[in-house]
Amino acid sequence: MPARLIESLSTTEPLAEVFSDDSVLRAMLDFEVALARAEANLKIIPASASQAIARAADSAAFDIAAIARETLRAGTPGIPLIKALRNRVAQEDSGAADFVHWGATSQDIADTALVLLLKKAAPILDADLAQLQNGLQALVAKHKDTVMLGRTLLQPATPVTLGLKAAGWLGAVGRGRARLNHAFSEALVLQLGGASGTLAALGKHGIKVGETVARQLSLSYPEAPWHTHRDRLANVVCACGILTGSLGKMARDISLLMQAEVGEVAEPGGSGRGGSSTMPQKRNPIGSTIALAAANRVPALTAAYLAQMIQEHERAVGGWQAEWTTISEVIQSTGVAIASMAEAAEGLTVNEKRMRANLKSTRGTIFAEKAALLLSQKLGRERAHQLLEQTTDPERLRDRTLSEVLSQMPEVRDCVSKEALRKLEDAGDYVGMARQFADRLVRSSPNQPPRRK
């Protein structure tokens, strides 16, 4: 299903399908069919009733618009859905209609349907995360020794490598993937509690029915119903918030490196990607733009969900009713950010010549720390610092480099060799543990499929 136009920058087609009306309806019907089959297996309801319910639960036969309208009056989609399902069952077997939704409550339908949607979304997100990790791992491997300006407070700083920068993105993505998969594994649990969370209507069979329904839906069975305990879902939302923030950081870095004044990397272009309606020459950071838009949305949605956790007693008024749209937006926003950055990482082009030019444009001032370490061995730290403050003054440098200015100072020539001054502005000689840190980050972010329950 294609995304709606108004959502076209905030979801992907696979996730739009997961949260489509038909998908939501099918998830609710899947719960009702599984419930009926479990109860028939335990001889709580007739087998014939279970079979009639299963035959009637064809999503194509339901009027989704009518259910949506009635939901606004009922306060839950479960009530109009159950009514419509009973009507369909009654057309075949009036007696069987009485056993629709036996022992359950409307929130059981809504919560389990939401969990089933998350179950569909989880592998979609994970596949795109794996693609993103692949792209970043390739970028790290290719550019482990590609030296570039480090930048602190948006100003030139000591050199780093593109490999280390990309490995930093990779590490955050790997941690975010592990965090999200763990949150999903905890959240994919059945909701079946009946009227007040005790399953009293099912008598001694309550837990057995729940375990059977969970098994049919390939969900875990929790210790107890969780109608007003939303921590598992909150964990998913928070994991999405953190992951989307990490993707936003990556997107911010790439968009800044793409500025014409910097020109060190570029996202993939091509027909219809990153253009302008008025300026044919433009190549905009579209993947980064979409990821940053998501990173702007998700924190507020995360906060909204956390506020929705404060739910009263055994059934909330207004809390869980707010959740469907919040969680849907969070998952889809996270998904579009992942997919966008995966495409950007795979197609990122690197301008090493421009990186070298930008290093050179600092006239060696980024090596002031390196020079201070050399000078302090002979002159002491305070005197070395004073000298470097003088020599890095723009008026004094003018068209000369730092090493050229230092080499003309007798006090410096007396304590630092010509060879050391000549190598002062060798960027590759001052990247410290960049390669080792990049290797450690790569090792900490294995691209492995998660274990699903």
Task: Return per-residue pLDDT of the chain as tens, 453 residues.
Answer: 667 888 888 999 999 999 999 999 999 999 999 999 999 999 999 999 999 999 999 999 999 999 999 999 999 999 999 999 999 999 999 999 999 999 999 999 999 999 999 999 999 999 999 999 999 999 999 999 999 999 999 999 999 999 999 999 999 999 999 999 999 999 999 999 999 999 999 999 999 999 999 999 999 999 999 999 999 999 999 999 999 999 999 999 999 999 999 999 999 976 655 554 454 555 789 999 999 999 999 999 999 999 999 999 999 999 889 999 999 999 999 999 999 999 999 999 999 999 999 999 999 999 999 999 989 988 899 998 888 888 887 877 878 999 999 988 888 888 888 888 889 999 999 999 999 999 999 999 988 665 544
pLDDT of residue 277: 46
User: Distance between CA atoms of 74 and 362, rounded to whole angstroms?
Assistant: 67
CA dihedral 374, 380, 381, 382 (to 10 degrees): -130
First to last CA, the chain: 28
Please list, residue by residue across 365-394, b when 16 or more beta carbons sit within 10 angstroms of its beta carbon and e when fewer do: bbbbebbbebbbeebeeeebeebbeebbee
pLDDT of residue 281: 54
Of 303, 312, 330, 308, nearest in space to 320 by CA: 308
pLDDT of residue 279: 46
pLDDT of residue 270: 64
Q: Which residues pair with 358 in a beta bridge?
A: none
pLDDT of residue 2: 66
pLDDT of residue 364: 93
Place of tokens 């404060």: 310
Q: Identify the sign of the CA torsion 407, 413, 419, 421.
A: negative
Contacts 24+ apart (CB under 8 A), 70-77: 74/106, 75/321, 76/106, 76/107, 76/109, 76/110, 76/321, 77/24, 77/28, 77/106, 77/109, 77/110
Which tokens belong to 106? Answer: 């409307």
pLDDT of residue 302: 98
pLDDT of residue 4: 81
Active site residues: 276, 315
Burial of 448 per CB tally in 10 Å (0-12, 13-18, 19+): exposed
